[in-house]
Structure 1
Amino acid sequence: MRILLVEDDHQTADYIRNGFSQSGLACDVVDDGREAMLRAADEDFDVAVVDRMLPGLDGLSLVKSLRAAGVSTPVLFLTSIGGVDDRVEGLEAGGDDYLVKPFAFSELLARVNALLRRPAAIAEKSRLRVHDLEMDLIRRRVTRAGQDIDLQPKEFTLLETLMEHEGRVLTKTMLLERVWNFHFDPKTSVVETHISRLRSKIDKPFDAPLLHTVRNLGYSLHAPR
């Protein structure tokens, strides 16, 4: 198991890393929010433990950005900011748990272990499949007819949304809300642009199209009919 610890207090970071190591858990330490975002987006971690007060990019913005990019790594906020409203804010930003400093390492370890057990409960949703298009949600890998398809984070989230609603028509408004978290029309062609890019990757190299434009309604992903 691999933990990403985002903590800029080096003494605290060393204490936690040593504790995880003694418990048999590998721990990578990052002390900057922007670096943490790059690491979490590009590498596979089982849990991230994140402080809220960080240089470069604060912890709250870090987690919001990761969730917007489709990164589903469980996040535990570990911070001295402990008011009720602060906890709610952290959870609503995409955090899975919240622990306030000062803390007992035994409690931190118990909470991390609880998050590590979660994938077993959702194993049945670790893969999505439409016809010969497959998505591995754990490894964040997409293939069609056995061929790897390289997707950018937003393209991955868009495709995931379409695959989860196989056969249904999703409007531009629905996609803006679910993929970009926009609850208004940004007056841009962001949806159309990403649909075009996605179609060029999952459809054009293959015989049968899966991604369809439903005129005046939206978009639908389904097997050939």
Structure 2
Amino acid sequence: MTKILVIDDEPDLVRFVRGALETEAYQVLTATNGHDGIRLALTERPDLVVLDLVMPGVHGEAVLSALMAQDPGLRVLILSATGDVQLRISCLELGAVDFLAKPFAVRELIARVRSRLQENGASKRRDILQVGDIVLDLQARRLVVDGKPTVLSQREFLLLLHLMRNPGAVCSRQELLSEVWGYDFDPATNVVDVCIGRLRAKVRPDLILTVRNVGYQLQSA
């Protein structure tokens, strides 16, 4: 059974989210503070973590950072009322796979949970992905280029994975922002360009082309 951990200090919200997820036949674990959340995430190995940001004691951003340091492959969906765009960007850059603002519609929460779990399941169905000289180990999240291995961050991995699944195609910034960061549209952010810059340093600059005013293209040969 698919296991989801909910970390939030609001008891009523935890009960609401737990009930909604259990209706969808998910096994749900809960924690009402950051310390217990980290412990459960690392011992129970859930398929997805739903994490609040503003909590007493350990802030959700610190929880996310700790989880990514211990288990970079863990999928974390941020659920928070914060309107701080920079904090949202920071969480996504740390490795969160999605961000849903409170208040939210339960149908949207379920849809996002399903989508992120499907992505996780899809990545497990194939262990190795190769495009030209680029080899991506999906289990170890390790990149090998020209026979030389290197480790990717969570966001770098997801970005390269999307590009490698669409070799030769031009992927727009909006498409990458939506697929990798979970944003529908945010013209003010440059997170895609920053992450592309880091990827180029690891895969060779000539392998990822910039298509002016559109996006990026991974060379297929």
TM-score category by the smaller chain? 0.5 to 0.7
- The answer on 1:32 being equivalent to 2:12 is no
Q: Deviations 1:133-161 (Å, cap 9, x if unpaired)? A: xx994xxxxxxxxxxxxxxxxxxxxxx57
Question: How many pairs align?
Answer: 146
- The answer on 1:72 being equivalent to 2:73 is yes
Specify whether residues 126 and 4 from structure 1 end up closer, same or farther in structure 2 by C-alpha distance, changes over 3 A only.
farther
Written as runs of structure 1 = structure 2, the 5 A alignment for 1:120-159 is 120-124=121-125, 126=127, 137=139
State the percentage of identical aligned residues. 26
- The answer on 1:41 being equivalent to 2:39 is no
Q: Distance in 2 between matches of 1:55 and 1:125?
A: 40
Q: Distance in 1 between matches of 2:146 and 2:35?
A: 38
Specify whether residues 54 and 11 from structure 1 end up closer, same or farther in structure 2 by C-alpha distance, changes over 3 A only.
same
Q: Distance in 1 between matches of 2:125 and 2:48?
A: 20
Which runs of 5 or more structure 1 residues have no equivalent in the other structure?
128-134, 138-159, 179-225
- The answer on 1:8 being equivalent to 2:9 is yes
Query: What does residue 111 of structure 2 align with?
Result: 110
Which runs of 5 or more structure 2 residues have no equivalent in the other structure?
129-136, 154-221
Q: Distance in 2 between matches of 1:90 and 1:46?
A: 19
Contact 1:41 1:71 in 2 (8 A): no
Q: Distance in 2 between matches of 1:80 and 1:88?
A: 14
Query: What does residue 162 of structure 2 align with?
Result: none
Q: Distance in 1 between matches of 2:122 and 2:86?
A: 29
* Cα deviation, residue 87, structure 1: 1.8
Per the normalisation by structure 1, the TM-score is 0.56
Contact 1:50 1:77 in 2 (8 A): yes
- The answer on 1:19 being equivalent to 2:4 is no
Q: Distance in 2 between matches of 1:37 and 1:43?
A: 10
* Cα deviation, residue 126, structure 1: 4.5
Written as runs of structure 1 = structure 2, the 5 A alignment for 1:64-213 is 64-124=65-125, 126=127, 137=139, 160=140, 164-165=143-144
* Cα deviation, residue 62, structure 1: 0.9
Per the normalisation by structure 2, the TM-score is 0.57
Q: Distance in 2 between matches of 1:95 and 1:120?
A: 17
Contact 1:52 1:78 in 2 (8 A): yes
